[in-house]
Amino acid sequence: MLEEAALEADLRDNAFGGRRRATRPPSIGAEVELIPVGLDSRRPVPIVSGDDGLSTLPFLRAFAARWGWTETASVYGMPNWLLPDGGTITFEPGGQVELSAPPFLSASALLQSLRATVRPLLAAAREHGIELLSLGIEPLGGVDDVALQLPGKRYVRLTKFLDDCGTGGTRMMRQTASFQVNLDWCDEAPARWRFLNALAPYVTAIFANSPVYRGCDTGERSFRARVWREMAAGRTGIFGCANDPVPEYLRFALDAPAILIPQEHDGWLPFREWNARGLATADDWKTHLTTLFPEVRPKGFVEVRGADAVQAQWYAAPVVLLGGLTYHAPSFAAASELVGAPDPVLLERAGRLGMRDERIAATARDLFALALEGVTALGAAFICPADVEEARAYYDTYTAQGLSPADDVLAEFAMDGESTADRSAGVAAD
């Protein structure tokens, strides 16, 4: 049996960065997810053998060859690619394409890396009849329209678990996409953890762009956020009320069902139960941690997961928001005071109402303004003026107006003056 004290020490040293010395200046990374659909059909495009002849694997292989990417094997039956700057391209279970950029000491270097990969990729995909959507959820199809694309053990078992819990988790795996920002702990893990968990509702609201599902207005500004809440089953949410985050996260991890440990007739037991039976190994523990999906995830660095997928023209906005508030000490202090304690109820409101909630909108404006001040003070060594101005343009277009890209999506899907809300019956229950 694994001793809980040893598991707590493992979390403290590894997940919460206890063994890593803070980098000065701190580094910042990002993960970008894109949803492939047919340019004409608007239907999801599979990795291989689509009904209409479209598939992403041949296209990506050809693109990778032109751009000098190195193809590598994955355990999930589909290839990955290693990019020259250390980034990777991988597939998600529904066929979503994910770019994971390496950490950079400069936010502008990160943004340059993201744009240099994604913009030509978007253009090349269109030449092959594929559009790579930057939306939080695929807006037209239902979950049954997207078969599991990765056949490895992890996703087969995860699918079985999620099917037992309801449709929310399966939608999460196969239809959602996000923009994740990765930050250093900087020797301040408890303060970072508490702040970023409290910030999560505002990240969700500011970047919400998934109000439409199956062609209908869902009544949610970020239906992706709702899908994650529906997944539940002890794997999602926000934390950070305790002074020491590690025991709290340890309880969360131990209480979550262990999806990947073989089981026969005992159902989906919590990891602590398998451990009590002496059937869990250290490798099982490490793998189990990767099946937890909180809004803020400790991975040796801190992964902020609350934003819907962001269009390439606005990549600077989430990077500035998270980098400016986290790495500029005065902005961090002011923002920590502004957001207060982590609030799960506010997280639900942020996904449902977004910037339509006056309290959320007012605080979001103040937070973004602090972030812009913060990155400006960090200077050109962290971010160039042009990238600050891109983020400011996002702020002026959306946040300062009490809007998010969800408003654009609703306008796009409103047809002939008919309210999409009139066509939304049954979406929530489906």
Q: What is the CATH number of the domain that holds 414?
A: 3.30.590.20
Domain membership of residue 273 (yes or no) is no
Domain membership of residue 327 (yes or no) is yes
CB environment 42-79: b (16+ within 10 A), e (fewer):
ebbbbbeebeeebbbbebbeebbeeeebeeeeeebebb
pLDDT of 220: 97
Domain membership of residue 288 (yes or no) is no
Report the predicted TM-score, pTM, of the whole model to 2 decimal places. 0.94
Domain boundaries, position 370: 22-256+294-422
pLDDT of 429: 46
Domain membership of residue 350 (yes or no) is yes
CA distance 365 to 223: 22
Task: Give how many domains the chain has, as a whole number.
Answer: 1
DSSP for 201-236, written as a single string: HHHHHHT--B-EETTEE-S-SBHHHHHHHHH-TTS-
pLDDT of 75: 77
Domain membership of residue 5 (yes or no) is no
pLDDT of 51: 67
pLDDT of 260: 85
DSSP symbol at 342: -
- 10-residue mean pLDDT profile of the chain (430 residues): values are 96 88 79 97 90 89 96 88 97 96 97 98 96 97 90 82 73 94 93 97 98 96 92 79 91 92 74 93 94 95 97 98 97 98 96 98 98 98 97 98 98 59 47
Domain membership of residue 267 (yes or no) is no
Q: What angle do CA 239, 232, 194 make, to 5 degrees?
A: 10
pLDDT of 309: 98
pLDDT of 21: 61
Domain membership of residue 111 (yes or no) is yes
CA distance 199 to 112: 26
